[in-house]
Amino acid sequence: MTGQFGKGGRPLPFGVGYERTNAKAWLEKDAPILPLGREFLAYWLSKCPSSETGQAFPRREDIHPEDIPHLLPYIFIVDVLRGGGELDFRFRLVGTKIVTIEGEHTGQRISDMFPDREGYSVLWQQYRDAAAGAVWVRHEILRWPEQDQVAYEVVLAPLQDDRGQVTMLLGLAHPPEH
């Protein structure tokens, strides 16, 4: 995957990217979640419908950006693409702090960014399992050639449509110091 900016927003030369390494993922109940991740999950959980509605997860329209303005720079939304065999995912929205660290991903598919599903198995597992209804937390390190590395926490939670199918994922990606 190729990022456009390094840590602190420093531009990278064209064609020079970063790699994701040391990735580890946990189901939310087992994860060592950082404070910002806990705040994100508390908000998501507050939007989960009561058991009386028959819905398990929030819908996109239940998420209100004005409720979480300080989280918005770290938020991303991904469409779950179920057609054509294997699941795929497309970035619908990417927060400004994520863009500063990684570059712009809006409109891109995960399969184009990470075609090596085996090499990025932790990432792919997190997305597939979130699409199946699990909340996952991933910690990883982004490494650039000849630049500082960035540790990252990624929390991924399902959003469903009115029929109860997970059609989007709501995520938070941030360095631990935020």
Give per-residue pLDDT as tens, 97-139.
999 888 898 999 999 988 888 888 888 888 999 999 988 888 8
Residue 6 lies in a domain: no
Residue 149 lies in a domain: yes
Q: What DSSP letter does each residue of 17-38 carry, written as one string?
A: --EEEEEEEEEGGG----HHHH
Residue 8 lies in a domain: no
Residue 11 lies in a domain: no
Q: What is the pTM of this model?
A: 0.80
142/100 Cα distance (integer angstroms): 13
CATH number at residue 96: 3.30.450.20
Count of domains observed in the chain: 1
**What is residue 106's DSSP assignment?**
T
Residue 117 lies in a domain: yes
Quick one: pLDDT at residue 91? Answer: 96
Residue 82 lies in a domain: yes
Which of 45-49, 62-66, 120-124 has the highest average model confidence (pLDDT)?
A: 62-66
Which range of residues forms the domain containing residue 169? 18-174
Question: What size, in residues, is the chain?
Answer: 178
b/e map 36-69, b = 16+ CB within 10 Å: bbebbbebbeebeeeeeeebebbbeebbeeeebe
Quick one: pLDDT at residue 86? Answer: 85
110/124 Cα distance (integer angstroms): 9
Residue 131 lies in a domain: yes
Residue 7 lies in a domain: no
